[in-house]
Every structure is written in C-alpha cells, then in structure tokens.
Amino acid sequence: MQTHGNNPTLRPHDNGQPEALRILIADQEQWRLARLAEVLTRLGHEVVARETDVTKVAAATTETDPDVALVSLGDSTAHALQLIGEIVREASSPVIVLLATNDRAFISEAARRGVFAYIVDSSDEELQSAIEITLQRFSEFHSLKGAFGRRALIEQAKGILMARHAINAEQAFTMLRNSSQSTGRKVAEIADGIISSHVLLPASPSATDPPAAGPPASQG
C-alpha cells in the first residue's frame, strides 16, 4: 500500500495483483463481520479491526489508521449510521457502506454523515473493484481539494501584499514567485508564511498612516 499524505492509492504487486490493504470493518453483528473478514482475507487484504460497539469504533479507527473502512448495514439503520459517524470523525481514509439492497433513504443519510461510497450486494470480484475505484476517487478528491486550498492561500496572500504595498494582483504574484525562486520553496508555502507571520512585509508604515506627532509646541 502506498500513501500520499493521507490519501491511499493502490499499487500492483509484481504479479499484477493489487497490494494488500489494511481494512477496518464494522457491523451490528459479529457473524456478519466474520463473513466479511473471510471475503477480504480471501482477496488478500488484512482486517486490522472488527467492531460492533459504537462506543469503541472511534478508538479502533484512531489506533489502526486503516487504508479503508467498510461498514455493513445490518438490521438497525440507526446503529449503522452511528458506526459511520464515529468512524468518519476519526478516519483519514474513505468509508464505504455495504448494502444488501439499494436503500436510498439510508444512502442519503450515510452520505450526509461522510460515507464516500456504497456497494450493493456484490461478489468478491465486484467488491475488490469497488474498493479500488473508491480509493482512486478518494485520492483524486483530496488532490483536487489540496489544489483548491493552495489556490485560496495564494489569493489571500496576494490580497495582503496588494493592500500593504499598494500594488496590483500581478505584481503581488510576482513577489510571491520571486520569493519562491530565491528560497527554493513552493509558492503556496510562501503564501502560507505571509498569512501566518507576515513574512515579506516591511516594518515601515504605509503611505496612508498619519505622520508621527512631533514634540509639543512651546507655550512660552
């Protein structure tokens, strides 16, 4: 398993098979967990945690830091949704829900709580394919999210420089780029530094600041 930050991506073995994933599974019933664990083991993955208890699943997620979490819907939708909520709160990986039927109401609520994908009544091969696709989309989603975050940082830093130096957006970006080139750091890193600690900003007052007051005039 390879990771980029918190984004897992599948890397094939030399024999062409996907690399084993570390998977957390959760369900209301132990027997369903045992059956799911058997399937995942057969597919070559490692089940790092099996949880039925809503009060323990968050800790298990934190301790094991799985590549992906699978939650299967049992008899209680409320219990499954609680499991999902606890896992999503702690996980840095995608959460997939496994369904026997296409329950639209449950899917909608699960999505609201942070489920990244769902799989309906799949074979072993379909489950493997769905996990691979989900991990790929999760990685792409976080790459895109990171790109938007970097863009927002740069725009905010440009605004600070424009206000401080009375320059336009192009000139502000040139300052960022020049600093990036001279320091060997990424533009987004320079932008983040400007926002957090105002590096690059001169200590001199701006042109709009009032002049400092002189000594009081003599009254004599």
166-220 pLDDT tens trace = 999 999 999 998 988 888 888 888 888 887 765 444 444 444 444 444 444 444 4
Homologous superfamily of 2-121 in CATH?
Answer: Response regulator (3.40.50.2300)
Where would I find the H helices in the chain? 30-42, 54-64, 77-90, 104-112, 124-165, 169-183, 187-197
Q: What whole-number distance in Å separates Cα of residue 7 and Cα of residue 153?
A: 21
In which residue ranges of the chain is CATH 1.10.10.10 found?
148-197
Q: Please name which of 203, 201, 177, 209 lies closest in space to residue 190, comparing C-alpha atoms.
A: 177
The model's pLDDT over 108-136, given as tens digits with 9 standing for 90+, comes to: 999 999 898 899 877 888 899 989 988 88
Q: What whole-number distance in Å separates Cα of residue 174 and Cα of residue 130?
A: 45
Q: Are the CB atoms for 92 and 113 separated by under 8 Å?
A: no
More confident residue, 2 or 106: 106
Query: Does the pLDDT value for residue 81 go beyond 80?
Result: yes
The model's pLDDT over 12-66, given as tens digits with 9 standing for 90+, comes to: 444 456 678 999 999 999 999 999 999 999 999 999 999 999 999 999 999 999 9
In which residue ranges of the chain is CATH 3.40.50.2300 found?
2-121
CATH code that applies to domain 148-197: 1.10.10.10
